[in-house]
Chain A
């Protein structure tokens, strides 16, 4: 009851014309940076911090929240249209989304992403409103052993992204794992595979790998094919919106994606990427149209997009209740709180209720604004595909380069980008899937750090992974998902051969 009263007071704060204006500025900016590859909400908020120092905190946070949610909405757009994810959490969206776009169903893919994001964002915000403290208490109890096991589970599900050939998929995955090893080892502080270059001490920026393999690789590939297949101009379906069938196939993935994404966001170091992988695999297993997966199944867009937005809401739970940042953007938001001399944490709800509830209310409003902004835009964005490809890809090249350069203002990063671009081209040319490599880059270092943290905290006792109930349970599921398909296959085989 208390939460409802406070929420209404929050809406009073958030609904003043000036705060509505800030929310609008935030979501528009957020959508833009989401669309642009390389520039993400974390960097945007960080760059705006000094400029907003003179704004009242409530207005600044309402704008930041808009940027944060907007980035999550916008990330899917380029993923779907151009096979170039704008954010790391939209990589999976490219798998089915871009196939849909190539079949002329770009607008429907964008629409299911936008509505899914809205549904997930709203449900996530409701959970944040009513259950935040309880969820945060549980989330910090999750030990590194269990997080390591969760990542093992994610590893098992990667095969869903392999496409035709498991061997090629595994090679791609190992490429990613190797890239992930570069940099200073967190536990020992020693440099690994840095070739003596100080630029590599912090590891290879994840965004550089994504943009190189996806955007630059795709551009080179399209350029190399331009003369051969002139005919393949993407046609747009007349019907821009989702059909009844699309709705029927989307709503369950939206809800399942939300259920996966929200808890991951709330877990320290959980991230928005892993739930998108899990959601994709889950939808692929549950779908009634398995033949469409890999060719543009709408479930494969709806689920992961809901998952990443729910995770975005989940991230705010430990941030507001415990002062615990669980993602890069959250860490910047924490810095923003400190700029105003505020400390997020158990006391924030007591010391600055106007700010907290105004912020939460603005999340609901931001979500509605984003839906209103993105749905009508879907067919407009889709028209991007009508731009002649030489111009379109030249544009992508420019934006990608600027995006990567803006990360560190470093020319070295551009060289890396070019290298990954060539690798990305080679992978496309020889039919290696790109997604497993990216997943390797994300999961490898996290898996390693959880594994070693768990061992350190238990003073080197390996049995800690099976003695801890949650971890043991997840490892059991991992074992099942490895063994059961093999056993089923073995039992079938005699029938086939006999």
Chain B
């Protein structure tokens, strides 16, 4: 093992020290992917996984990832809009950006860019501390209806996916979303701490953030926002408990406005090809991402519907007029 091991190590080390210039291939060349967030976050990880699969499988060479963080991705979106007609540029985005466009009053919205594909997603889960009296969503909702302010939900930043889910559940359960008590935290860790410390009634986040605690029996998952039960996740859906709530924190890819139809077709074809590779399926597995692939005109329609729905939820919560 040590020989191979050392070789690998040396290779990685040298890759660390100098970025190896990749060789050219036919078709789409010199693709650049913008991650509109800081290194390490979800969009950055998606962009870099995409980069390595596209390169390793020889779909596109070379691929470069760069970060334009800020304001829920809307700064990157404005930059993408300005790169009109650039057929070699992609940007990772997702539901969070759809929401941020509304809450930040962004001048550019997603109707101004070219949709390419939806890639992955993660379903949201509602959890309570193990010592909580609520055994299922009905228990929680009963207490919530009795006194909306007294049932505090912890989750990510205001107007984000977690907040949207609580808003959707409120509407489905007949609780006034404006009266709900949502406690936003800037990082997933703080939500977890508030739950483990029994400081809030319930918490919301992507399943992956709570998985370890759910499996260790430190938190009880009472509902997942998926349309149907997920393989390997023993949590009942909210739908099966009678609440018509379906929300995925999805991530996708868009291109600048003003690219030609054939340029768009080339980009869609490249992602279609990438999606079929084994390397991408393996990536989804290790990362625990749900495959929500959808490309071409289907994604165009989805994006429009999602923008309308998001606006409705944010208005219900009272974040957007």
Contacts and interface: CB of A to CB of B under 8 A. Distances in A.
Interface string A47-60: 11111111110010
B75 to A, nearest CB: 5
A191 B6 CA distance: 52
A166 interface: no
A347 B12 contact: no
A72 B100 CA distance: 35
A187 interface: yes
B150 A459 contact: yes
A43 interface: yes
7 contacts: A48-B16, A51-B12, A198-B71, A198-B74, A201-B104, A324-B196, A410-B75
Contacts of B142: none
A55 B158 contact: no
Contact of A335 (B45, B197, B213, B288): B45
B8 A53 contact: no
A339 interface: yes
A143 B39 contact: no
Nearest to A332: B40
A120 B157 CA distance: 35
B192 interface: yes
A198 B192 contact: no
A459 B158 contact: no
Interface in B34-88: 38-41, 44-45, 48, 51-52, 65-72, 74-75, 78
A56 B7 CA distance: 12
Interface stretch (B165-173, B178-186, B232-240): B178-186
B183 A457 contact: yes
A182 interface: no
Contacts of B132: none
A18 interface: yes
Contact of B213 (A21, A56, A346): A346
B211 A343 contact: yes
A237 interface: no
Contacts of A202: 69-71
Interface string A425-456: 00000000000000000000000010001001
B152 interface: yes
Contacts of B194: 457
B15 interface: yes
Contact of B288 (A142, A187, A341, A410): A341
Given A55-B8, A338-B45, 11 more contacts: A46-B40, A49-B45, A53-B52, A59-B9, A139-B193, A184-B104, A189-B159, A323-B213, A341-B287, A346-B212, A347-B216
A427 to B, nearest CB: 28
B21 to A, nearest CB: 15
Contacts, number: 168
Contacts of A46: 38-40, 44
B262 interface: no
Q: Which 3 A-B pairs have the closest CB atoms?
A: A345-B212, A189-B158, A46-B39
B127 interface: no
Contacts of B74: 198, 201
B9 A187 contact: no
A449 B78 CA distance: 30
Given A201-B104, A347-B215, A49 B39 contact: yes
A140 B213 contact: no
Nearest to B319: A189
Interface string A457-498: 101100000000000000000000000000000000000000
Interface in A326-341: 326, 330-332, 334-335, 338-341
Interface string B225-268: 00000000000000000000000000000000000000000000
A325 B158 contact: no
A365 to B, nearest CB: 17
A331 B16 contact: no
B23 interface: no
B217 to A, nearest CB: 8
Given A54-B12, A188-B158, A408-B70, A331 B187 contact: yes
B200 interface: yes
B152 A457 contact: yes
A198 B158 contact: no
A269 B190 contact: yes
Contacts of A56: 5
A191 B104 contact: yes
Given A21-B9, A140-B196, A186-B184, A47 B39 contact: yes
Contact of B103 (A186, A189, A323, A348): A189
A325 B191 CA distance: 11
Contact of A198 (B66, B104, B183): B104
Nearest to A331: B187
A54 B14 CA distance: 13
A348 B75 CA distance: 37
Nearest to A455: B183
A53 B279 CA distance: 13
B286 interface: yes
A51 B190 contact: no
A345 B190 CA distance: 14
Nearest to A49: B40
A186 B212 contact: no
A198 B78 contact: yes
B131 interface: no
Contact of B158 (A21, A186, A409, A460): A186
Contacts of B208: 338, 343
B68 A408 contact: yes
Interface in A122-158: 139-144
